[in-house]
Structure 1
Amino acid sequence: MNLAETSYSNPTQDIILNSTVVCVTNQRQCERLIKAGRVIADISKTDLTVISVINPQNMKKESDALEYLFEVSKQNNAVMSIQYSTDALKSIADFIRENKAINVVTGMREGENSILPKLWTRFENASFFSVTLDGEVLPAMTENRL
């Protein structure tokens, strides 16, 4: 089994349909994203799911951050999925598609190498939201969507 292609999540978890998905990369700053996702999920009457994609090479140093992420997800009544992959964009896109996400919450686009604009162009039927460091929720930039 190739660890880079392994997905870890709650084994009793079924795929959630019409969900709000929160994409988390920096687990220590995730609380604002998950709280924003909770509000959006409540407004849209969808289930809330948090996904974190971790490079398998960073698995050991992420354990404390993942424990924190599980706790914050639990406090916000969210299902959490952790995937170990070297291709975060593909893992997130597949997860959004499989869960039929209608809302996707992310942090802010950072730098030229950000995967966010590529993610936005893949889903024209999903609403994307970015959350600033101050917790303000903004529609994701749309110039890259069409």
Structure 2
Amino acid sequence: MVCVTGQRSCERLINHGAKRKKDDQKLFIVHCVQTGHNFMNTTFEADAIEYLFTCALLVNAELTILRADSVMDALVDFAVEHNVSVIVLGASPQDGADSFADKLALRLPDVELDVVRAARDR
């Protein structure tokens, strides 16, 4: 499972997830936005969603777009429902116990989290 945001840089996360996927696994690309917010942090949502769909199509992945009051709850529920074993996500601007990845890890202790840092952070 690859968690993507409204940033165009999500293509690198999708490609990273595709490289990690085993032949017998299904790749899910999931974008979840909190209720009341734009899906892609832009007024050009249709173009941004089409971009995500194309990225997913190129790596033979299934794109799921969710809207929920709690992004964390929605992603946890999706991961459990689809028996996800690995989640690829970008690094949070906030490190430590308050980072999104650390909070997700607490909720999904049996799932491997692969946090991909931006190229400039490596």
Q: Give the structure-2-normalised TM-score.
A: 0.83
Q: Which residues of 2 match residues 117-132 of structure 1 at below 5 A?
A: 117-132=102-117
- How much does 1:84 deviate? 1.1
Q: SS where residue 93 of structure 2 aligns?
A: coil
- How much does 1:47 deviate? 1.0
Look up the match of 1:35.
15
> 1:33 and 1:69, CA in 2 relative to 1: closer, same or farther beyond 3 A?
same
Of 97, 105, 118, which aligns to 2:88? 105
Task: Structure 1: state its 5+ residue gaps.
Answer: 1-20, 138-146
In the alignment of these two chains, the number of paired residues is 116
Of 22, 25, 33, which aligns to 2:5? 25
Look up the match of 1:52.
31
In angstroms, what is the RMSD of aligned CA positions? 2.4
Identity %: 29
- How much does 1:136 deviate? 9.5
Q: Separation in 2 of the partners of 1:74 and 1:23?
A: 16
Q: Separation in 2 of the partners of 1:135 and 1:77?
A: 28
Q: Give the structure-1-normalised TM-score.
A: 0.70
Of 66, 74, 81, which aligns to 1:91? 74
